[in-house]
Structure 1
Amino acid sequence: MLDYGLDLSAVEHELALPDLEAEGAELDALVSARTDWSTDTPAAGWTIAHQIAHLASADANALIAIRTPEAFAAVLKQTEAAGPRHADLDAAAGAAKPRAELLAQWRAGRTELAAALRGLPLDHAFPWFGSRLTPALMVPLRLMETWAHGQDIFDTLDVSRRPANRLRHVACLGVLGRELSFHAAGLPIPAAPFRVELTGPDGRLWAWGPEDAAQGIQGSALDFCLRVTHRRPLAETDLTAIGGDAQKWLEIARVFL
């Protein structure tokens, strides 16, 4: 989970609903063509069905938070009661449903969520896990999670996918997650600014931070996104660190707790 206290002024937060919808549609096309969702994915104990169930559940929770924020307290209480195993138990419950029912639930939920987000002002706040969110952050968060869990499924099925420029939203969250990464690792948060330069899927440079920063990261946007979502170990990426703090960041990078 992201530290939702991050400075949102750094987020390039145009309401990227078309990108979120495209991410869901791409994964839908992959899984709907498969009748067997029982194959294990890289996430321990999770099959393809578990991955889709998790996405469907998160979309449903987001709808509760937006439509009936007073009812979201019950979601938080249930999550706290289940403890660390909540995500596993929740995914297992969804995965036990017939494939057609789960697919229909996921489709309906993400369509309803997109419609709900589209109708909200960018700064409209609603409750979430550990803090409050706005559509400006919820959209890239849902895109990031859809992409990351989708990557598990693409890897499972040994299907390659061409990276799209909508990865920029995931990369932005990764950059914003620097302080979270150090905090989660129990390490002091570096005070000096960082420079991040990533090559997007179309060959363009995506950059954050001052050009003269002593600490920096360079490489492909795809590999950066795979790293911060824990879909690839650092050794399997082309990422390069400039400075000791930047190297440590790559080793502990994350966008969720």
Structure 2
Amino acid sequence: MTGPDETLAALAALHAVDDDERLEVGVIEPGLLRTAAGLAEIAAEPPPPGLAAAVLRDAVRARPPGRPPGGVGPCTPAEAFARTVAELEALLDSLTAADWTASVHGTDHAVRDVVVHLVGAERVATHWLLASGDDVAPSDHPALTAAAVADLDDASVDAVATAWRRAADDFAAAAGAADPELAVPYYGRRLRPAAMLVSRTFELWAHMIDITTATGRDLPRLDPNRMALLSGGLMQALATLDDATAQAPVRFVLTGDGGGVHDVAGRAPDGTGATIVGDVVDICRAAARRLAPDRLTVHVDGDPELAERFLRVLGSFALD
């Protein structure tokens, strides 16, 4: 029987030999050769059926919620918004005249229309921060933003881009100056300024996806700090749902840089409920309605119907 020390020594010996190098007597001790040969035979045998699923299930159940040790944590909402504004500005600067007229999602809306919409979204958000205006339903988002940009009907694309950057800067300044505990009406919810910055970052990222897709560019990839912030905000929003879904114990295991483990509405003592394992970027894209539910790849352990209910409501927080 091979002891743990001999096994580790054999693995180290195998690791030290290149793939194209032969294991010869004199290079590695005979005892380690026999152990290495035994390990190779074990590795060549297929694992028992269901072993991988059982290991994954036990691992995610045992892991505490939060970020992994040494993992990437979130940046501040203000930093996330500022970085995303800078990236969108660089993207707009790179657009050609043809890009500005490219169709978005195969509709009659062009890239220019998307940017005009963002001007309106920032102006409306800034107004609510400064005036605490009346609340409106999420379905009113497109109409409300359109009413805020009547001055841009005949504006050039350069003027539109400039107006958006000015509106984004005004919103950031208003959010930074506002009382952090202020509950601002925001499309059917009440959000504090920091949460509004997260929501605005989410929408900017979503429309960057729209623009890059329409113009044949690579999809934008936010840094792990921003993904950690957006995914954390999404999980908190899921926990605020006031229907039966929010009361069920569901654990999200978000993989990739910026991911983590999130227990939504608590964790059942007996482990019942559902665990959903998926890529942090894909989960956030689905929440932004920029990845179709049938294209979202996840692993579900536990109650599949409960998991499906949560996956269906992921996109309910997106404004458009």
What TM-score, normalized to structure 1? 0.77
Alignment pair present for 1:113 and 2:171:
yes
1:35 — aligned with what?
96
Distance 2:202 2:89 in 1: 15
Q: Which runs of 5+ in 1 are unaligned?
A: 1-11
Distance 1:127 1:182 in 2: 18
Instruction: Classify 1:192/1:128 alpha carbon distance in 2 versus 1 (closer, same or farther; 3 Å).
Output: closer
1:256 — aligned with what?
318
Instruction: Classify 1:195/1:95 alpha carbon distance in 2 versus 1 (closer, same or farther; 3 Å).
Output: farther
Q: CA deviation at 1:43?
A: 6.9
Q: Which runs of 5+ in 2 are unaligned?
A: 1-72
- 1:37-52 alignment to 2 at 5 Å? 37-42=100-105, 44-52=107-115
The structure that has the greater radius of gyration is 2
Distance 1:83 1:117 in 2: 22
2:211 — aligned with what?
153
2:308 — aligned with what?
247
Retained in 2: the 8 A contact 1:50–1:91?
no
- 1:167-206 alignment to 2 at 5 Å? 167-178=227-238, 188-189=244-245, 191-200=247-256, 202=257, 205-206=259-260
Retained in 2: the 8 A contact 1:122–1:135?
yes
Q: CA deviation at 1:208?
A: 0.5
SS of match in other structure, 1:189: helix
- 1:1-257 alignment to 2 at 5 Å? 15-36=76-97, 37-42=100-105, 44-69=107-132, 72-73=133-134, 86=143, 89-90=146-147, 93=150, 94=152, 96-160=154-218, 161-165=220-224, 166-178=226-238, 188-189=244-245, 191-200=247-256, 202=257, 205-209=259-263, 210=267, 212=271, 214-242=273-301, 243-244=303-304, 245-254=306-315, 255-256=317-318
SS of match in other structure, 1:196: strand
Alpha-carbon displacement from aligned partner over 1:192-217 (angstroms, at most 9, x marks no partner) = 211011123x3x64111149453121
Instruction: Classify 1:214/1:32 alpha carbon distance in 2 versus 1 (closer, same or farther; 3 Å).
Output: same
Q: CA deviation at 1:247?
A: 2.2
Letter of the 1:152 counterpart = D
SS of match in other structure, 2:247: coil
Q: CA deviation at 1:150?
A: 1.2
Instruction: Classify 1:226/1:49 alpha carbon distance in 2 versus 1 (closer, same or farther; 3 Å).
Output: same
Retained in 1: the 8 A contact 2:124–2:148?
no
Retained in 2: the 8 A contact 1:20–1:140?
yes
Distance 2:76 2:178 in 1: 10
- What percentage of residue pairs aligned between the two structures are identical? 21
Retained in 1: the 8 A contact 2:121–2:145?
no
Instruction: Classify 1:41/1:182 alpha carbon distance in 2 versus 1 (closer, same or farther; 3 Å).
Output: farther
Retained in 2: the 8 A contact 1:199–1:221?
yes
**Greater relative contact order (Cα < 8 A, sep 6+):** 1
Q: CA deviation at 1:68?
A: 2.7
Alpha-carbon displacement from aligned partner over 1:37-88 (angstroms, at most 9, x marks no partner) = 111111733211111111111111111112233xx34x95xx99x9686268
Q: CA deviation at 1:162?
A: 3.0
Q: CA deviation at 1:137?
A: 1.1
Distance 2:289 2:240 in 1: 14
Distance 1:225 1:49 in 2: 25
